[in-house]
Amino acid sequence: MSIFQKAAIALARSPGAGRLMRATAAGSALASRFVGGATAGQAAATAARLRERHGIRASLFYLGEYVADPAIIEQTVEQTVAACRVLGAEGLDVHVSIDPTAIGYAHSDALGRDNARRIASAARQAAGGGRDWVVLDMEDDGIRARTCALHRELLEDGLPAGLTLQARRLRTLRDLEWVVRQRTSLRLVKGAFPVRALDHRGRARIDAAYLEAAAIMLSPQARAAGFLPVFGTHDDRLAGALMALARERGWAPDEFEFEMLYGVRVDWQLALRAMGYNLRVYLPFGADWWPYAIRRVGEHPRNAWLLARSLNSDGYAAGQG
C-alpha cells in the first residue's frame, strides 16, 4: 500500500475531515467527480445525463458497508428501493448494486435475506424491460458463500438477481459452473480484498485467471442460458484481450458489458463507447460520500490532479482521466 493510499484511508476515517469536506467547495468537487448525488433522485438525474450524452448505463449504489445498526440498514434498504422506483420512472435500467453487509448481513443473515428480497421485488416491480438487475457485490471471504447462496435463492424466486465474482479467488471457476447456466448477470472483477492463501497472486496470474473465467462466461452454454457477461475492470490491456475473446466466440459488442467506477478512467470509458461497446458505471450516491471519494483518490494519485483541474465538473464533458 502506497503512502498516498495510507493517507487517504486515514482521511477517510477522520470524522473531522469528513465534516469539513462536506461543507466546502473542494468537497463538492470531489463528490461530483466520483459520486452521483446525495439522493436517489440526484443520482438518477446523473444516470439520465450519462445515458443521454454518452450512451453510458448506470448501476446505483447507496454508500455504506459493514453496517450493523438496524436504523442505518433500514435507511440503506429504503434508499435502494427509492433508487429502483426513480430509475423505473425515468425509463432507465432499473439497475442497483448492493453490499450484503450493508443491507443486513452484518446484523443477521435473516435480516439480510429479507432485505435483499425487498430490494429485488421493488426492482422487478419498477422494471421496464431494460437491463434490470440487482447485482450483489462480493465482499470478503467470510461472506462469499452466503452471497452466492443468496443469489441462487433470489433467482429461484424469479427475482432479477446478479452476482459479482472475483478472478483472484481460486474457487471462482467452481462458482461460475452453476452461474453461467442461469439467466443472470455476472460481473467479473479482479478482487479488491486482501490476498489469502487460496488466492491467485501477482498481476500476471490474476489477469490469466480473469481470462480463464471470461472464457467460461463467453461459452455457448452461457449464451444458450441468456447469461449476461459483465467485465468490471479499468484495465485497458485486459479489456483488449476480452474484446478479442468475445469476437472469437461470436459475441457481438452489444451482448456483454464493461463496467467501471463512475469518474475513473473517463477517457477510456468514452473510448469504449466510441468503439461501440456497452459501458455501465457503478454510480454511488448518498450523503456519506466522503470515505468513498477519498479512497478513490488514494488508489490513484493522478485522481488528485484531475480533481484539481475539474473543480465542479464531473470529468465526462472534458473526457478526463
Ligand X SMILES: Cc1cc2nc3c(=O)[nH]c(=O)nc-3n(C[C@H](O)[C@H](O)[C@H](O)COP(=O)(O)OP(=O)(O)OC[C@H]3O[C@@H](n4cnc5c(N)ncnc54)[C@H](O)[C@@H]3O)c2cc1C
Q: Tell me the number of residues near ligand X by CB under 6 A.
A: 23
- Dihedral angle of Cα 105, 107, 111, 112, to the nearest 10 degrees: -10
Using rule CB under 6 A, residue 293 touches ligand X: no
Minimum distance from residue 57 beta carbon to ligand X (Å)? 12
Point out which span in 114-122, 171-179, 256-264, 286-294 binds ligand X (CB under 6 A).
Answer: 256-264
Task: By CB under 6 A, tell whether 190 contacts ligand X.
Answer: yes
Q: Which is nearer to ligand X, 221 or 257 (CB)?
A: 257
- Smallest CA-to-CA distance from 57 within 75, 36, 71 is with 36
Lookup result for grid cell 500476471: 204
93 near ligand X, rule: CB under 6 A: no
Decide whether 105 or 282 has the Cβ nearer to ligand X.
Answer: 282
> Does residue number 150 form part of the binding site for ligand X (CB under 6 A)?
no
235 near ligand X, judged by CB under 6 A: yes
For residue 220, the minimal CB distance to ligand X (Å) is 26
Residue 89 or 192 having the CB closest to ligand X = 192
Contact flag: residue 303 with ligand X (CB under 6 A): yes
229 binds ligand X (CB under 6 A): no
Which stretch, 43-51, 81-89, 218-226, 259-267, contacts ligand X (CB under 6 A)? Answer: 259-267
Which among 33, 49, 56, 45 is positioned nearest to 274, based on CA atoms? Answer: 56
Q: Does 233 bind ligand X (CB under 6 A)?
A: yes
Q: Is 57 in the site for ligand X (CB under 6 A)?
A: no
Rounded Cα gap, residues 300 and 5, in angstroms:
8
Among 164, 172, 185, 269, binds ligand X (CB under 6 A): 164
Q: Return the closest-CA partner of residue 169 out of 130, 123, 138.
A: 138
Q: Which stretch binds ligand X (CB under 6 A): 25-33, 106-114, 124-132, 261-269?
A: 261-269
Nearer to ligand X, 16 or 155 (CB): 155
Is residue 176 at the binding interface for ligand X, with CB under 6 A as the rule?
no
Q: Considering beta carbons, is residue 129 or 194 the nearer one to ligand X?
A: 194
Q: What value does the CA radius of gyration of the chain take, rounded to a whole number of Å?
A: 19
Interface with ligand X (CB under 6 A): 137-138, 164, 166, 189-193, 232-235, 259-261, 264-265, 282, 296, 299-300, 303
